[in-house]
Amino acid sequence: MPNYISKKKIFIIAVLMFAITMSSVFMFTKEEELNKENSQYQSFILNDLNHKDDLNEDAYRKIINNNENDFIIVNTDRTFKFITPNLEKAHGYTLEEMKSGKINVLTFIHPKDLPAFSNILMEFHKKLETMSNVGPIRVKTKEGEFINYLITLIPFTNDDGERVGTAVIFKNIDNLLGKPETQK
């Protein structure tokens, strides 16, 4: 009789461990689905507000749900639509210079980072999903120096669900990495 009770206890423990494991799997699955839904929700909001040409920084910050880091808004032809004032100061370029059409996003990427960044962009353009914490990517200033960033890419869509632009959020990680002399 005692052997039967211990086997029953082991069975109950095994079933409970299985149930706990499966519930944690489902909890993580739900979280991933939530993140996907959130990125689609952001795209939907951006779609509705994309009709307004001249949004200010606060409006864009609410749309992309970002209160901390600097960002740019880029059109599909890689020209600039908006840049935060802090990025203008840090990099030395004004939005007017960047809108001129002579400069595009790839102009600012460190030559050694360009192949990897191009691959990231190709992956990003395959689907309408947010890509978070990509990098580090070195971005050039007007003085020719580079700043290390982790970037987040958020797609903008039109009413037909076609990509019309991208929000690029920059998280400066120079303080975390240190700045080696070889970046110049």
* Three-point CA angle 66, 110, 156, nearest 5°: 35
Instruction: Determine the average pLDDT of the residues in 63-84.
Output: 85
Per-residue H/E/C for 61-117: HHHHCCCCCEEEEEECCCCEEEECHHHHHHHCCCHHHHHCCCCCHHHHECCCCHHHH
Alpha-carbon distance of 30 to 155, in angstroms, equals: 22
Q: What CATH number matches the domain at 36-183, 3.40.50.1980, 3.20.20.100, 3.90.70.10, 3.30.450.20?
A: 3.30.450.20
pLDDT digits (tens, 9 = 90+) for 92-133: 888 888 777 677 777 888 999 988 988 888 898 888 889 998
pLDDT given for residue 112 in this prediction:
92
Q: What is the pLDDT of residues 136-153, one digit of tens each?
A: 999 989 898 999 999 999
Please give the model's pTM, rounded to 2 decimal places.
0.66
For residue 136, which amino acid is it?
Answer: P
Q: Are 136 and 120 in contact (CB under 8 A)?
A: no
* 148 compared with 17, residue with greater pLDDT: 148
Any idea how long the chain is? Answer: 184
**Cα separation, 124 vs 39, whole angstroms:** 13
Task: Give tens-digit pLDDT for 18-49.
Answer: 667 665 554 544 444 444 444 444 544 455 44
